[in-house]
Structure 1
Amino acid sequence: MNEVATGTKMYGIASFERIIELGVGMLPVPLHLARCSPSSVSDELCLGLSVSACRLACMAVDVIRGRLDARLLRKAVDLPVISKLEMFTLILDEHWVRSADIQREMLRLPVVARNLHAVLVSPQRVEVLVHMNIGRTQYWANVILRLRNERWVCTMLDLG
Structure 2
Amino acid sequence: MDYDDYFHNTNSRTPLPGYDGYIVLESSDRPIRYHFHSTFIGGLNAQECHTMAMASCRLACTATDVIRGKLGLSHLNRAMTKPCLDRLQTMQYLLDAHMLTHPELKAKLCYLPVVPTFIDGTNISKDTLEMAVFVMIGKEDIRVNLKLRFIGSRWMCVYADLG
- How high is the TM-score relative to the length of structure 2? 0.85
* Superposition map of 1:1-160 within 5 A: 13-25=16-28, 27-39=30-42, 41-160=44-163
SS of match in other structure, 1:30: strand
AA of the residue aligned to 1:75: R
Deviations 1:38-94 (A, max 9, x none): 226322112211221111111111111111111221111011111111111111111
CA positional deviation for 1:25: 4.0
Q: What residue in structure 2 maps to residue 9 of structure 1?
A: none
The alpha-carbon deviation at position 13 of structure 1 amounts to 2.4
Q: Which blocks of at least 5 consecutive residues in structure 1 are unaligned?
A: 1-11
What is the deviation of 1:17? 1.6
Contact 2:23 2:53 in 1 (8 A): no
**Any conservation in 1 of the 2:33–2:117 contact (CA below 8 Å)?**
yes
8 A Cα contact 2:43 2:123, kept in partner: no
Secondary structure of the equivalent of 1:22?
coil
Maintained 8 Å contact 1:133/1:139: yes
Q: Quick check: 1:142–1:158 contact (8 Å CA) kept in 2?
A: yes
Q: Contact between 2:28 and 2:115, CA under 8 Å: does it hold in 1?
A: no
Per-residue Cα deviation, 1:122-156 (whole angstroms, up to 9, x for no partner): 22111111111101111101111111112111111
Corresponding residue pairs, total: 149
CA RMSD of aligned residues (A): 1.6
CA pair 35-98 structure 1, distance change in 2 beyond 3 A: same
Q: Does the 8 A contact of 2:43 with 2:125 survive in 1?
A: no
**Identity percentage of aligned residues:** 28
Letter aligned with residue 137 of structure 1: E
SS state at 1:155 partner: strand
In the superposition, relative to structure 1, how do residues 25 and 114 fare at CA in structure 2: closer, same or farther (>3 Å)? closer
Q: Which runs of 4+ in 1 moved over 4 A?
A: none
CA distance in 1, matches of 2:59, 2:92: 16
Q: Do 1:29 and 1:114's aligned partners in 2 also have CA atoms closer than 8 Å? A: yes
More strand by share: 1
